[in-house]
Amino acid sequence: MDAISVIRTKRDRGELTAAQIDWVVDAYTRGEVADEQMSALAMAILLNGMNATEINRWTDAMIASGERMDFSTLSRPTADKHSTGGVGDKITLPLAPLVAACGVAVPQLSGRGLGHTGGTLDKLEAIPGWQAALSNDAMLRVLEDVGAVICAAGDGLAPADKKLYALRDVTGTVEAIPLIASSIMSKKIAEGTGALVLDVKVGSGAFMKDLDNARELARTMVRLGVDHGVKTVALLTDMSTPLGLTAGNALEVRESVEVLAGGGPADVVELTVALAREMLAAAGQTRIDPADALRDGSAMDVWRRMIGAQGGDPDAKLPVARETQVVTAASSGVLTRVDAYAVGVSAWRLGAGRARKEEQVQAGAGVELHAKPGDTVVAGQPLLTLHTDTPERFEYATEILSDAITIAPTGTTFEPTPILIDRIGPTA
């Protein structure tokens, strides 16, 4: 077996054999296949695609590159959620303790932000003392005792994916649907959860801008999960407007706590409850309505215990940026658009995100929204507040917002895009 023959097969729109896939993934992980060769293969896959058999085998090879976790010793069933990434997407923070409060354990392995999309671990690290790294044994203990854990994936979980994702990120091949699907699902299957709900974002602030591509990705991932014995369902959700009223790390933690306290923005509450219901149904636990667990405080109790179990202080004051700048409405009328991508890039430029994985983020940086599409606004009214520790960032952060906001004349009828667009089940 050699890399050139594998590249040529896919370059010429052929089907990779199981032996070719097993060899090239293993050889790349071990360093026998060079980065430039895997880059060529990734580009060929982006341009020419893979069929279901190839994607399934590619995912198997990614899983086989590392360890598999086992939650069979837990006293309750497990369910996990994965989002394809968006702006203001803090849903994991209230969702994990909410599902745990309803009787299902949530082993949530999460990541960091890169570019305009935020990272769950970055958000939680805004809480003083909270630690993202847990051993497998510690993770199991917290799951049994608390019912939910949000932590970083260990190096032993699908190491082939970790290496390949870093390569795709710098070679323009992140958008390849077969590689996105196998990247996400190899980690989730290796993680060992019994059920999985996928939140596939669609819109300007998502990686999938087009609804048809989002559906294809959702169907591919659902099929992979089912084929590997994981009860899997996907929701297609809107990401044309930021979720909630904040995009940033500490800002989003604060908003998540508001949701757990029974308040918070309506769109965040709606999506959190919808995903919780899907996770509970997939795990076979439907006795408790998650909306009730938000109202009665039981989800908040789990949140406090979960944060404390990972060294965090749930009562500590969250970091606040040293400087703020307000963006006001240029005219009066009906706010019809707040572009999610622009808000995400603005938050990133303010210091809430990173351009390279080794960069540090500012815990207090980000964007706070004071109005959402459909609201009536008046000229001069605050629409956004920008937060950062480094005021020299304001000019660069506001630059992308110049065309991000649309205000229509007073009396304009506005029909918002629903948060929940579609549901993709195993037979879709």
Active site (annotated) includes residue 254:
no
CATH number at residue 351: 3.90.1170.30
Low-confidence ranges of the chain (pLDDT < 50): none
How confident is the model at residue 357, as a pLDDT? Answer: 67
Is 187 designated active site? yes
With CA atoms as reference, report the closest residue to 88 among 204, 260, 187, 235.
204
Q: Which of 168, 223, 231, 393 is catalytic?
A: 168
pLDDT at residue 221, rounded to an integer: 97
Same domain, 295 and 348: no
Q: Is residue 75 part of a domain?
A: no
Q: Which is it for strands 195-202 and 80-83: parallel, antiparallel or unpaired?
A: parallel
- The catalytically annotated residue of 60, 122, 161, 199 is 161
Residue 68 belongs to some domain of the structure: no
Nearest-angstrom CA–CA distance, 205 and 345: 9
Active site residue 292: no
What local confidence, expressed as pLDDT, does residue 172 receive? 86
Q: Which CATH number belongs to the domain containing residue 32 in this structure?
A: 1.20.970.10
pLDDT at 355: 73
pTM of the model: 0.93
Same-domain status, 306 and 404: no
Residues 20 and 152 in one domain: no
Whether 387 is a known active-site residue: answer: no
Which of 187, 188, 231, 387 is catalytic? The answer is 187
Residue 341: domain span: 323-408
Same domain, 285 and 338: no
SS3 47: helix
Number of structural domains found in the chain = 3
Residue 35 is a catalytic residue: no
Residue 98, both tokens: 């909410």
pLDDT, tens only, 50-85? 999 999 999 999 999 999 999 999 999 999 999 998
pLDDT in tens, 9-19: 999 999 999 99
Tokens, residue 388: 């950062």
Residues 124 and 190 in one domain: yes
Active-site residue (options: 65, 83, 182, 183):
183
